[in-house]
Every structure is written in C-alpha cells, then in structure tokens.
Amino acid sequence: MNLTSLVFLLFCIIALGIYFIVPKKFQWFILLISSIIFLFWNNLSVSTVIQALLVLLASYIFGILIDKYRDNTVKSKIFLVIGIAIILGQLICLKYTNLFSITINHILQLLHIDFQLGLSYFNSLVGISYYSLIMISYLVDIYRGACKSQKNIFKCALFMSYFPILTSGPFIRYNDIEKDLYGKHKFNYDSMCRGLVRTIWGVFKVLVISQRLGMFVDTVYGDLATYTGFYTVVAALFFPLQLYTNFSGSIDIIMGISEIIGIHLPENFTAPFFSKTLTEFWRNWHITLGAWLRDYIFYPLLKSNAMQNLTKKTKKIFGKKASKKISLYLSMLIMWTIIGAWHGGAYTFIIGSGLLQFLIMVLEDTLEPLSNKINNKLGIKKDVFSYKLYQIIRTYLLFSFTMIFFRASSVGNAVEIIKNMFVWNPWVLLDNKSIFTAGLDIQDFRVLIISLITLFAVDKLSRSGSVREKLFKQNIIFRWGMLYILIFAIIILGCYGVGYDPAAFIYRQF
Amino acid sequence: MENEEIYERLNTVFRDVFDDESIVVKPETTSKDIEDWDSLEHINLVVAVEQEFGIKFNMNEVTTMKNVGEMVDIIKSRI
Amino acid sequence: MKKVIKSIIFLLILCIFFYNIINIFWLEKNSISYFYEEPKNSLDIAYIGSSTVFCHFNSVLAYDLYGFTTGILASPAQPFILTKYVMDECEKYQKPKLYIIDIYQLASELNKYYEEVNLRDVTDAMKFSRNRTNAIKAFLEPLDLGENNPNYKSGDNYINYEFSFLLYHNMWKHLSNKNFVGSLDLYKGFLCSEETVQINPQKEYYWKEDLVKLPNVVEFPKENKEFLDDLLNYIHEKNLNVLFVVPPRLYSEGRNITLNQAIKIIKENGFEVINFNTLEDFDVDYSKELFNGSHLNVYGATKYTLYLSKYLKEHYDLPNHKGDEAYASWENEYVRFKNDFKVLTKKDFNKVLNKYSN
C-alpha cells in the first residue's frame, strides 16, 4: 500500500476509527489486525505467510530462550546466534541471492567458463529489510539485558509488524516502544491535530515535490542520448532532493499517524542538507539506520578482541594515532558495506550508499588536519557564513555524486551518466526553453522553486525547535490558512492520478 | 575506591584519548562537552577506561550511558 | 465539545473550498455540460449521437424557422452504449417530446474504437449521479482493458472516471479566464464550419442500395446488437417517442451492411428510421458541402437542417416558442450565428438560406 494513496487514507481512517472506539485493553490487538492486513495487502500467498511466520517464531521463541538462560552465557549466546542466523538467513535468501549469482556469473565470464547461474525472483514482504533488522536488535537487546522478552506471541507479532513502519521505518527499539505500543491510548484532540499537520506536510513533500523532481530525473536518466551535459548535471542535483522529500515525507506521514495513535517514534531526519561535512550529514540522515548499525555492528566490532588485538599490533608498527585510525577505518568499511547492501542487493547500492560514502568520510577525516593548516596559512576563517555555505554546498555536491551510483541501473550506467555530464551545453540552462522540455515545463519549475523554498524555510526553522509548535502558537486564521494552502497545493498541484496532460485532448481529431 | 581517585584516573584517560591536557570531567559531563567525543571516539574511550580500571563494560552499558556520572557508577559497581 | 465543533467547521470550510475549486478545473465544455444550463422542460427535442449530430443539425436555424428547441446531446465519437444513459439524464430534467438518435456509432467496433476521451466527453460533462456511475460501468464492462487493447493506458479504471478530478487537477497549468468566468454554448451546440473539401465520390465509398438485398454477409458486431436491443427495450419501457437517423456520409462496405441490419431491427420494433443516404429528395453535393471526408460543412448542414426540421414540423406535434421571452437565448444565438457567419465567410447567411430553400 502506497503511503500517499487513497486506499491507505481510507485504511487509516477505518483503523484509527476502530482503534479509538474499542475498549482500551483491546487497542493493541486492533493495531495487530491492521498491521497484518497491511503486511499481506495484495501479497497474500503461502510463501509470504511462511516468511512472516519464520521471522516471528524465530524472534519469539529464541527471545524467550535467551531471556530464560540469561545467567548461562554459553547457552544464551547459542540461542542468540541461531535466532539471528534464521532471521538474517531469510533476509539474505530473499533479497541477496541474485547478487551472489550475478557476481559469480561475472567471475565465470572472466574465467571464460561457459556456465551461468540462473536468477530467481522471490516475492518478499513489504518491510522485510526493516523488520528483519528490528527483530535482530530485539534478540540482541534481550541478550544484553536491555529489555525482557515479550511472552505474548501476538504482542511480539505487533512489534514486528507495526504497520506504519513497514514501508520506510524508522528502526524502533523494543525498549523505547514497548509502553506506547501495548498501552492504552485515549483519543487526544491536540495529538490528532499535530499528527495530521505532520502527515499533511509529508504528503506535500512526496506528491508535490518528490514526484515532480522525479519526472525530470526519470526523463533525463531515461534517455541519455538526448539529454546530456547540463541536463544530466541538473538531474544529478535534483535526485538527492527527490530522495529526501520522498523518504522524509514518508517518515512524516508515518510519524504523524503514530502521533495520532499516541506512539512516539524516533526521528529519522533533522534537516540533513544543512550539514557541513558528509560525516555530519549521516548524523542527520536516516538517523535510526545509523544508530542501529552503530549499536549492533560498529561498537561490537570496534570493541571486539579481534579489533583490539589489531590495534595493539598496528600500534607497534605505525604508532598510536595511526593504529586507532586503522581499526576505525576498517570497522567503518565493514559497516558501510553493510549499509550499502542494506539499501539493495545490487552493486549500485553497495557502491553508491556504501563504499563511496566511506571513501569520502575517510578523506574528510584524513584531510582535516591538512585543510586546517592550509586555512590557517591562507587566513581563511572557518566560523564565518561564507565558509559554512561553502561547506554545505560541498557536502551536497559530494552526496549528489554518490547518488548517481545509487540511482543508476548498473555500475556501467552510472559511469555512462557521469561521462554524459562532460558535454558542454550551457545554453540549455540559459535559452529559456530547453530545460523545460525534459519532463517538466516552466510552470512545474515555478511550483518546484516555490515549494523548495518553502521546504528550505521549514527545515531551517526546524533546527531551532519544532516548526509545528511555532505554527500552533499563531492565531487560528493563520494556522488554518496555512493548512488550507498545503491541502489545496497537494490536491491541485500534486503529481498523482492519471499520468498525462488532459490538454492533449484538445488536439484530438474526431 | 573513592570518587576522587576515580575522577583523577578518569581525567588521565580522557586527556590521553582526546589529546587534550585541559580536560576535567565531572558527573554531568557528556559527549556534547568534549569536542572530539563522537560515536567513533566513544569506543576508544570505553576501551581505555576498561583497561585503566581492569573492568569490562557490556554492550548495553556502552550504548546507553549518558554521562560520566553513569560511567563512574558502573565502574564503582565493578571494582 | 468545542473541539468537535472546531473540527467540523474546519472540514466544512474545506469542503466548500473544494466544491468551488472543482468547478474551475474542466477542460472543455461540450453541449452535454451546457445541457444542465437550459431551463427545466424547455427542450422540445433531444438529439443524441456523435459528431454527425452537432456538425449537421443547426439547432438555432431550426428554431428560427419553426420555433421548436432542440437540445444537442452529442459528443465526438460518442459510444453507442452511452445513448441510453444520456437519454436517462435528459429525462431527469427535460422530458422532451421527441428523441432523435443518430445510429452511426452502431457500426463502430467497441474495442477497436475504444478511447478514453470518448467516454470522458460524456461522463465528465454529467453531474454526479447514479446514472453517471452506471454509464461508466456499462462502458468499461465489455471492454478488454488489458494490454491487448491498442489504446490501453494504465490509468484506465473505474476510479479515474468516476472521480475525474483525479485527472483534471492537472489543468492548473492551462487555466484561462474561461474557467473562472464561464463560457457560452455557442449556437446552442451547432458546430459551424465553413471549410470545404472536394471529395470524388467515385473513389470513396458511398451508400450502396443493392447491398440491402444481400444476405447478412457481415455480422453485426455482437455487443452492438446487444446495445441496440437494450436501448430499444429501454425506449419501450419508458414509452418514449424516438426517431432514428442515419446521417449522410460516405460509408465503407462493412459499415453499410451493419447499419442496414440495424435499420431492419429498428423498423421491426416499430420505430421510424430516416436514412439520409437513400432519400430521393436529399442529395449531398460532394464538391461543396463537406468540410472533411465525413462531415458536412455549414452549407451542407443548412441543407440538412432545412430538410430535417421541415420533416419534424410536419410529422410531430411541436410547439412554436417564437416571441416567448423565456426562449430569447435561442433567438440571440441565431443572431450571433448569422453575425459570425458574415465575419467568417463575408457572405450573408440569409442569402445562403434562400438558395437552399428553393
């Protein structure tokens, strides 16, 4: 179910309506039913039911076992490992087998061996990349003593499948959400208003901005022969915004709905494009993914005996500072490869949202002392607006570059796109005509500019406190006015519905 | 072990890890107060503290400790 | 309690805004949209069909000649299956004394000629009603809407037709003052076209008399026969007065044969059919009276209107509203027509009229 579809709107109205009508002790059960419906919507089959049950039973059973044998480190560790292996195993089988096959096929081709593995496509459930990691974190948290296992299998199922999270996250921790998820919630008018405002803002970002940007990006990337040079550059610069508005807009919808219910979820985005370095960027973009990887991969890795021994050994050869960096970079490499792979089972994701990010951040780290020296020598000040602006733009450009790989259909396609950018055709931007022929006309651009400025303003404001709170302090005419403008912007300017221009009808022959 | 001694030794560790001789930690000190104390340095710090006091933090503690005061409480409970 | 009231007021204002805004987002008004603007029970005749209707019949001329009003409820390539629903809509507001149905579209195969625009021209113009919903469902039901249909588009489903705003909100890019201030039903629906195209009838197809005598060599498309039977049942049920018309056109052989079968069925059901291709006292001058291969221009339309309106006056009991204040708009539109005709052709329409009247 698409978060911005009419079906989903209807679904939420019904689900939330029932939620607040039933006796409060059944509320969590209503959430469970809704989540099951959402999970299997248009996707109910023997294979998908088995997939879901597998993860649920593994998490539920091993969760209880780890909890029970908490005092016996050997036993509880074994249960932890088996549980994780099952969940991870199904994730890899369903999402990554083709990656392995493709890789092996490449190798076979290189070795001139005349054999190719076949590719298979499994129908996996919506949210598999989210709930798999969430349930792994559940098991690990039980093992670490951060939380207790859930003894009620239905409540466990709800934690695994809480429907708003299935499409886009955020990653939740059992400890943080337990009370809200199973708790009793009285309908709160203020929460509803605030939640609705956030949801509407999210829908605006997706339908008015993201879809619109997508029309340009898709047109340019879909026809590399026609659209070269500055077309490609603009598309590459548009794409991160398209991704951001789509992703954060979806998160806003998810958070808004949860807020109406009374469930508090962790934030995923805090105005990331105001970051001055890529390192800072990833502290503000997809925050819960970074937190998951930090707590369950990065820290355990860094703290592991293997890594500590490596540090000791390299300390003797390269010195203290260098040895710390080596362990750090090695752990980061592993972490970012996983992050890249999490985004998708293809090399474009591993490179674009993984290795390239790692590379740039390592460069940022290693070049920092050098850049400081140069700045000092040249008298360049770092705490002035102009320098910060340069840093922000530089970060955006770097991120856009990595996203070329992320968006491309293959590594070869990404290289082609980059090559395409080196065609010199600045008139495309200046002749007041050409840029409006790549999927968006001049009116679309006007809408884009105004909405991007609005987005920019709201994000900038958000860094100094909740924008919604500021809105709710204003007078009712202003509040309602802003809301009506947003709603009608979505209804009139949103990119939804039948895909083509009705004005084409005018030119038909009869 | 007395609080005073713990904080003395912690100061040494912090100064060593962050390469800053001027650091003085208090119970309320958090990662926001020390410039280089980010998630990357956090582990180095934790490992150094473990080595200094001969104790081990478990992962749960590593990810949830909010300030130096909590760290000290854990140290005291382990010695 | 106060909060509930606030919410209700918010939603109410939202709905009011929404209702007003929807009315701005339309593409083109056609005569079916204008139909609703006619005063209740002011239409004596409703003429239903496809483009041959509004190209051929000059309703304001007919009004000037004999004083009866004709509502043109036609749209380009109007699918025959929708005829019944258009009639039903008409019955709600008008109850005309006579329906004229142009049966040209009976010769078009549904799936081959399926185009979204043909449905939208009718249903987008209609007001929300059960009849409209039924029309949409009836149109979509026999169609193969899958990828086998050459006109297939992924947005083709019931929801997009029922809630046409889903399409028309995109019109925000093309709004003009017409959308806000409203527009006129020019000449009460008649399309005036003064271009002329030369057609050599020996090279094109035309109605063949002798085919009537042949056995049914071509099958009447099954669905079309069903639509026709359905329509005839409907007319019988509602006890409506109907005249069927086959427009003067150049026909392919297949169409010819199909329409002959249709004519036969209609006559068997006791209805009159005027076939303009086989009349003795009506002939089209192919060198002067067509504006494209299949439609009469304004000169041909004058000839057609003179013939048909005279026939109607003679055979049906129709009122004469001339001089009645309530029908002033029809007089005005005829005057406008004559003025525009002069500007367009530099000729005086009265002279043209005289020529054709003799």
Lowest mean pLDDT, pick from A103-117, A368-382, A393-407: A103-117
Q: Which of A75-79, A126-130, A354-358, C89-93 has the highest average model confidence (pLDDT)?
A: A354-358
Pair type for strands C242-246 and C98-102: parallel
| Residues 55-94, chain C, touching A (beta carbon < 8 A) | 76-77
**pLDDT confidence bin for C342, thresholds 50/70/90:** confident
Q: What pLDDT is recorded for position A94?
A: 86
Q: Tens digit of pLDDT for each residue in A445-478? A: 999 999 999 999 999 988 887 888 888 888 889 9
| Residues 172-191, chain C, touching A (beta carbon < 8 A) | 172-174
Q: Name the nearest CA neighbour of C248 among C190, C215, C205.
A: C205
Q: Domain boundary residue among A354, A373, A407?
A: A407
Q: Tens digit of pLDDT for each residue in A144-173? A: 888 999 999 999 999 999 999 999 989 999
pLDDT at B31 over 90: no
Q: How far apart are CA C82 and CA C138, in angstroms?
A: 8
Range of the domain at A461: 188-265+410-510
For residue B60, give the nearest of A144, A294, A328 by CB distance: A144
Nearest-10 Cα torsion for A336, A338, A342, A343:
30
Closest CA in chain A for residue C173: A443
**Tokens read off for C143:** 């169609």
Which amino acid, residue A54? L
Boundaries of every domain in chain C: 30-194+208-283+298-357
pLDDT at C216 over 80: no
**Tokens read off for C276:** 């303009």
Q: Tens digit of pLDDT for each residue in C251-282? A: 766 677 778 888 888 999 889 999 888 888 88
* Plot region of C239 (φ>0 → left; ψ -120 to 50 → alpha; else → beta): left
**pLDDT confidence bin for A502, thresholds 50/70/90:** low
Q: How far apart are CA C357 and CA A218, in angstroms?
A: 62
pLDDT at A347 over 80: yes
Q: Tens digit of pLDDT for each residue in A203-256? A: 999 999 999 999 999 999 999 998 999 999 999 999 999 999 999 999 999 999
Distance of residue B42 Cα from the nearest chain A Cα, in angstroms: 9
Q: Name the nearest CA neighbour of A307 among A327, A323, A322, A336.
A: A327
Prediction pTM value: 0.85
Closest CA in chain B for residue A295: B63
Best residue of C173, C179, C191, C295 to probe chain A, by most A CBs closer than 10 Å: C173
Q: How far apart are CA A264 and CA A255, in angstroms?
A: 8
**Cβ-contact A145, A109 below 8 angstroms:** no
Are A192 and A121 found together in one domain?
A: no
Distance of residue A198 Cα from the nearest chain B Cα, in angstroms: 29
Q: Domain boundary residue among A360, A381, A407?
A: A407
Task: Report chain A's mean pLDDT, rounded to a whole number.
Answer: 90
Domain boundaries C30-194+208-283+298-357, corresponding CATH code = 3.40.50.1110
Q: Do A502 and C160 touch (CB under 8 A)?
A: no
CB atoms within 10 A of CB A100: 12
Say yes or no: A315 contacts chain B, CB-CB below 8 A.
Answer: no
Adjacent-strand bridge partners of C46? C71, C99
Q: Do A299 and B58 touch (CB under 8 A)?
A: no
Q: Do A308 and B64 touch (CB under 8 A)?
A: no
Say yes or no: A300 contacts chain B, CB-CB below 8 A.
Answer: yes
Are A471 and A445 found together in one domain?
A: yes
Alpha-helical runs (H) found in C169-252:
177-181, 222-238
Per CB-CB distance under 8 Å, the chain A contacts of B13 are none
pLDDT at C203 over 50: no
Q: What pLDDT is recorded for position C163?
A: 82
Query: How many structural domains compose chain A?
Result: 3
The answer as to whether A270 is a domain residue is no
Q: What pLDDT is recorded for position C356?
A: 84
Q: Domain boundary residue among A365, A387, A407?
A: A407
> Check: CATH 1.10.8.100 for B3-78?
no
Per CB-CB distance under 8 Å, the chain B contacts of A308 are 47
Task: Report chain B's mean pLDDT, rounded to a whole number.
Answer: 85
pLDDT at A442 over 80: yes
**pLDDT confidence bin for C211, thresholds 50/70/90:** very low
pLDDT at A309 over 70: yes
The answer as to whether A501 is a domain residue is yes
Adjacent-strand bridge partners of C273? C244
Asked if C touches B (at least 3 Cβ pairs < 8 angstroms), the answer reads no
Q: How far apart are CA A189 and CA A172, in angstroms?
A: 25
Q: Do C120 and A505 touch (CB under 8 A)?
A: yes
Closest CA in chain C for residue A484: C14
| Residues 83-142, chain A, touching B (beta carbon < 8 A) | 140-141
C133 class by beta-carbon count within 10 Å (0-12 exposed, 13-18 middle, 19+ buried): middle
Say yes or no: C197 contacts chain A, CB-CB below 8 A.
Answer: no
Are A231 and A200 found together in one domain?
A: yes
Q: Tens digit of pLDDT for each residue in A32-60? A: 999 999 999 888 888 889 989 999 999 99
**Tokens read off for C202:** 């020996």
Q: How far apart are CA A89 and CA A92, in angstroms?
A: 5
Best residue of C25, C108, C170, C178 to probe chain A, by most A CBs closer than 10 Å: C170
The answer as to whether A72 is a domain residue is yes
Best residue of B18, B39, B45, B57 to probe chain A, by most A CBs closer than 10 Å: B39
C238-269 burial: b if 16+ Cβ within 10 Å, else e: eebebbbbbbbbbbeeebbbbbbbbbebbeeb
Q: Do A298 and B39 touch (CB under 8 A)?
A: yes
ipTM: 0.80
Q: What pLDDT is recorded for position C148?
A: 66
**Tokens read off for C86:** 């258009």
Q: What pLDDT is recorded for position A509?
A: 41
C332-344 burial: b if 16+ Cβ within 10 Å, else e: ebbeebbeebeee
pLDDT higher at A309 or A56: A56
Say yes or no: A328 contacts chain B, CB-CB below 8 A.
Answer: yes
DSSP of A139-181, one letter per residue? Answer: HHHHHHTSSPPP--HHHHHHHHH-TTHHHH-----HHHHHHHH
C200 class by beta-carbon count within 10 Å (0-12 exposed, 13-18 middle, 19+ buried): exposed
Closest CA in chain B for residue A142: B60
Are A116 and A160 found together in one domain?
A: yes
